[in-house]
Amino acid sequence: MAMGDRRERGASGSTGGLPPHHAIVDHDWMRAEARAIGQALLDHHRAIVKEHPPGRQVRPATYTLRYGVLCDRAGLGHLVRMVGAFLGEVAEWCADNGYPPLNALAVNETGVPGVGFDGAGGFRMDNWPADVEACVRFTEYPDRMPG
């Protein structure tokens, strides 16, 4: 599936025939910065779910990470004002692999994703709380970003 060819996705995680979770699609087009951001999100997901296992209700604020903290953890603190483009690449990688959007865990200072979330990887802002929940409950992410 080419980078611009996306299907609409909701919290259900339906991927319309994309590869199963265990068949990771590599993206040689992903920039190193996007891979670093993705790895920081994978590490955050693993740690925060261990610290706060999801119960019946998932509060997004418990699981999200501010852009500045995310960029610092990725070793890219200087890119905080441009992180959206790299989060978009992470969204594409998640979508291509049938994963809930890891980028849903990244938020601005107001506690919600920036405008770039809407449409990235086919995910929609109006589904954001449900996407956070799907992400938090998802157990099939790889330990490492490919590449």
Tell me the pTM. Answer: 0.83
Whether 30 has a pLDDT exceeding 50, the answer reads: yes
* Residue range 95-113, pLDDT digits in tens: 999 999 999 999 999 999 9
Residue of 111, 116, 147, 146 whose CA lies nearest to 132: 111
Beta bridge partners of 66: 107
Please report the pLDDT score of residue 70 as a whole number.
Answer: 98
93 phi/psi in degrees, rounded to 5: -60, -45
Burial class (CB in 10 A: 0-12, 13-18, 19+), 51: exposed
Whether 144 has a pLDDT exceeding 60, the answer reads: yes
pLDDT band at 8 (very low <50, low <70, confident <90, very high): very low
Kindly list the domain boundaries of the chain, sorted by start residue.
32-137
Provide, rounded to the nearest whole percent, the portion of the chain with pLDDT above 90.
Answer: 79
Mean pLDDT value across residues 34-45: 98
Whether 2 has a pLDDT exceeding 90, the answer reads: no
Share the mean pLDDT of the chain.
86
Cα–Cα distance list, 73 to 30, 45, 59, 70, 114 (Å) = 19, 13, 23, 5, 19
Q: Report the 10 Å Cβ neighbour count for 76.
A: 19
Residue of 135, 131, 133 whose CA lies nearest to 119: 131
Please report the pLDDT score of residue 15 as a whole number.
Answer: 38
Please report the pLDDT score of residue 6 as a whole number.
Answer: 38
Picking from 15-29, 44-58, 60-74, which range would have the lowest pLDDT averaged per residue? 15-29
Please report the pLDDT score of residue 102 as a whole number.
Answer: 97
Whether 11 has a pLDDT exceeding 70, the answer reads: no
Please report the pLDDT score of residue 94 as a whole number.
Answer: 96
Q: What is the 3-state secondary structure (H, E, C) of the chain?
A: CCCCCCCCCCCCCCCCCCCCCCCCCCCCCCCHHHHHHHHHHHHHHHHHHHHCCCCCCCCHHHHCEEHHHHHHHCCCHHHHHHHHHHHHHHHHHHHHHCCCCHHHHEECCCCCCCHHHCCHHHCCHHHHHHHHHHHHHCCCCCCCCCC
Please report the pLDDT score of residue 85 as a whole number.
Answer: 94
